[in-house]
Amino acid sequence: MITLNTQGIKEVLHKQITKFFEAEPVMLELTQDIQNNDAEAGQTLHFSNPHYWVKVMDCSFESYVRPVILCEVIYFLKKEYMDAEVEVNVDIDLSAPADERITISATISFNDQVELERTELNNLIDLALQLKDKEWFEELSSRYNAISA
């Protein structure tokens, strides 16, 4: 699992936006636009993947500025980390100073559990025995026994 903070996300987005738009962004900046009219001072707002429509950044190019919404952040992170599950969280603390008000983070997880057939497990168990790797042998044996049960 990989965890990215605001800076890490900006670095990935800068790289992916440059590829996608074939133009390098001059600046990526978390937006100060609050899109919730019901928000009160002192309140903390939280947005995640289901809130794909939330504007989270402004992307400045040489001649124009375009908004970056949450679904684009998710898309670009998935382009960077192929075959991964991406969970993005945006927190807006309305009581914090303006430059510290918004934070964005992402958790990238990979499905690294491979489903093996009994014959494949048998072959790997034989290999573990040949290599005299007791720990791997025990792990494979427990997986084999779980399938057999």
Mean pLDDT, residues 37-46 taken together: 71
* pLDDT at residue 42, as a whole number: 67
CA distance 20 to 18: 6
In the structure, what pLDDT confidence band is assigned to residue 67 with cuts at 50, 70 and 90? very high
pLDDT at 20: 95
Residue predicted with more confidence, 50 or 149: 50
User: What is the mean pLDDT of the segment spanning 80-91?
Assistant: 94
36 has pLDDT over 60:
no
**CA atoms of 126 and 124, how far apart (whole Å):** 5
pLDDT of 39 reads: 59
Q: For the range 11-16, what are the long-range contacts, defined as Cβ-Cβ under 8 Å and sequence gap of 24 or more?
A: 12/76, 12/77, 12/80, 13/57, 13/59, 13/68, 13/73, 13/76, 13/77, 15/80, 16/76, 16/79, 16/80
Asked if pLDDT for residue 149 goes beyond 80, the answer is no
Confirm if 8 and 16 have CB atoms less than 8 A apart.
no
Rg (CA), the chain: 22
What does pTM read for this prediction? Answer: 0.72
- Write down the pLDDT at residue 38: 54
- Extract the tokens encoding 51: 């809130």
pLDDT(23) > 80:
yes
Share the mean pLDDT of the chain. Answer: 89
